Amino acid sequence: MTTPPAPGLAAATAAIFRLQWKRLVRGKKLRLGAVVVALVVVAVVIARYAQSEAVPKDVLRDGISLGFFTLLVYLIPFLLTSGAIAEEVEARTFTFLASRPVGRLAITLGKYLAGVAMAAGLLVAGLLVMHLATFLTTPTPLFEELPGTLRAMGAVVLLCMLYGAICMFWGAVATEAAGVVSALYLGIVEFAFGSLPGVFRFVSMNYLATQLAGLPKGGIRPDLVPDVEVWVPLAAIVPMTIFFLIVGAAAVAASEYRFGKA
Amino acid sequence: MTEAPSIRAVRLSKWYGRVTALQDVSLHLEQGIWGLLGPNGSGKTTFLRCAAGELKPSLGEIRVAGEKPFSNVRALRRIGLCPEADALYDDLTGLEFVSAMAELSGYARAEATERAAKALDAFGLDKARERKIGGYSRGMRQRTKLAQSVVHDPDILLLDEPLTGTDPTSRHVILEQIRQRAEDGALVLFSTHVLHEVETVTDQVLLIARGQVVAQGRVHEIRDLLEEHPHHIRVACDRPRDMAAAMMKVEGVVGVSFPASDSVELATRDPDSTYSTLAKEAVAGQFQVRSITSPDASLEALFHYLVERSSRMAGTGADVAVGSVMGAQYEPKLEPGGGAKKRKGRAK
């Protein structure tokens, strides 16, 4: 018997990442996500060219705000990460991972990174295509507006990381209702609080990310919402992401995930 | 220095809410093949999952190669688990799946692929390894699960109903692999509810029922117990009393009863001979036999018998032939009459 030494955290995380990536690429969720992103991009491009008086810059900004920050940035990470643990437990395939000498932290991290990388890739690609298509006939703003789009991309990636961690967390602690609980959390804490007036809006990381992207405040009585410095979203979203990841990983590490019979 | 492959449970109990899955199980297994025999729902899977580090004991302790296995990479690197559930990554090919499992066991990608191919070949899946698992037959899926369990060359193999859904050819391949692994020095513990499956690869068995190890020993000892415990055969025929009279003369038949006006139930210590004579008597006596059934699958009946017997005799010192052996009194070698001690009875 020549059993190899157990893989280190990095190697184990990479192996889980590759496995999860491969499964996502072949699954229906990625295709569904790509279709939804494409629909949003196409809708914005149609809006841009259908109205002769439309200002391309404004159409792009509204498209980013409504299409990405109000819809896709919730939906895509949710699709690709909420079932990462829960679906494996329910399908009884989690046992193949849990019985390997990889440590459950690596399982959580590998799955999280694969889901977030794919979600972020989809959204960034969507934003890029939308930007190019919007300014296709006007080369000057194509470059002038690029920094704004890049900021939006950065904010979207940050939110992907956070929402991926939130969905992983709920998937780990509430495996049988991972989707519902994740959706409720995102709907109430992130979406609903993001529209409230005053300081309540700071509960929503989505709102902070829109400020990082330089988008208008929107929501109810935006005039009552204090302005934020650029560092505030970063200082809030990054620790929140780490917090949800750590608690999610701890839940995976401690849980028995017993779906077997006696 | 690496500890020899072993599984040691000391007063291991596991419950899910109010359901007790394992109760006070103590045992020590070393290198070789061990059959874990028990009816469905007896606790076999729970025991294997505790040993595989998926479940934490509610009480007591389990150690695999000297380590507590739950989420413990030192123990897990030595364990190969073939779970019972027919659940696999259907969107991957057999080679991709087993390679991924090898990678997770610590091999570099190229070596993992090489080992995966070898493992799949060993289980007769060489021609199917590039196909998606979703298109595999039940037997192929079972062999794929087994291939992933051995791809990292573990010295402790935990196989949960490995022969379920397999055809005779697959069974032969699987049993050969089990034998080979044991010859190479592994501890193989495989669960089943069919005594015959155990007999083909080992004569060392543990009998588990209602979460307790009710007997452990060699297969022939289990056979003796089966013979000691009468097997029941129910015959529905036109003249049950005449049939009873004819069968009472047969050696091994120890009792008759009449559960209904049109049937007779025979209690026998020699089922094979009784079935054979029954057929002859039916022809000779021109009986109109409508059905011949066994109200108790003999092994199931034995489990009930052992559970009841162990709880009846608990503490009397008379239950020495059955029962798991406890803590300090434990003797690793399986000997009939291996010193069972008092246990909380759960028999009805």
Name the residue with higher pLDDT: B227 or A206. Answer: A206
pTM for this model (two decimals): 0.81
Distance CA A241, CA A4 (A): 34
Assess whether B213 and B278 both reside in one domain: no
CB contact under 8 A, A3 and B154: yes
pLDDT, position B249: 84
**Coil vs helix vs strand at B333:** coil
A140 domain residue, yes or no:
yes
Average pLDDT of span B79-86: 94
Residues B338 and B331 sit within 8 Å (Cβ to Cβ): yes
* Nearest-CB residue to A93 (from B52, B87, B152): B87
Residue B204 is part of a domain; what is its CATH number? 3.40.50.300
Assess whether B174 and B260 both reside in one domain: no
A3 domain residue, yes or no:
no
B144 domain residue, yes or no:
yes
A250 domain residue, yes or no:
yes
Name the residue with higher pLDDT: B106 or B348. Answer: B106
pLDDT digits (tens, 9 = 90+) for B138-177: 889 999 999 999 999 999 999 999 988 788 888 888 999 9
pLDDT digits (tens, 9 = 90+) for B197-225: 777 788 888 988 889 888 888 877 776 77
Assess whether B64 and B213 both reside in one domain: yes
When pLDDT is cut at 50, 70 and 90, the band that residue B297 belongs to is: low
CB contact under 8 A, A103 and B71: yes
A211 domain residue, yes or no:
yes
Domain that residue B280 falls in: 239-287
How many domains are contained in chain B? 2
Q: What percent of chain B has pLDDT over 90?
A: 50
pLDDT, position A19: 97
Looking at residue A18, the DSSP 8-state letter turns out to be: H
Distance CA B231, CA B234 (A): 10
Average pLDDT of span B325-348: 33
The residue count of chain B comes to: 348
Residue A2: list chain B partners with CB under 8 A: 153
A262 domain residue, yes or no:
no
B343 domain residue, yes or no:
no
pLDDT, position A137: 87
How many domains are contained in chain A? 1
Residues A215 and A65 sit within 8 Å (Cβ to Cβ): yes
Assess whether B55 and B14 both reside in one domain: yes
Distance CA B132, CA B93 (A): 4
B161 domain residue, yes or no:
yes
A259 domain residue, yes or no:
no
Q: Number of H helices and number of E strands within chain B? A: 11, 13
pLDDT, position B296: 56
Domain that residue A215 falls in: 9-254
B309 domain residue, yes or no:
no
Distance CA B111, CA B109 (A): 6
Assess whether B121 and B96 both reside in one domain: yes
> In DSSP terms, which residues pair with B218 in a beta bridge?
B204
The interface residues of chain A toward chain B in range 95-124, judged by CB-CB distance below 8 A, are: 95-104
Residues B41 and B210 sit within 8 Å (Cβ to Cβ): no
B336 domain residue, yes or no:
no
* Nearest-CB residue to B186 (from A1, A11, A257): A1
Q: Which residue of B has its CA nearest to A4?
A: B106
A205 domain residue, yes or no:
yes
A154 domain residue, yes or no:
yes
Torsion of CA A68, A69, A74, A76, to 10 degrees: 20
* Nearest-CB residue to A95 (from B74, B81, B104): B81
B23 domain residue, yes or no:
yes
Assess whether B44 and B77 both reside in one domain: yes
pLDDT, position B18: 85
SS (H, E, C) B78-115: CEEEECCCCCCCCCCEHHHHHHHHHHHCCCCHHHHHHH
For residue B290 the two structure tokens come to 């409508």
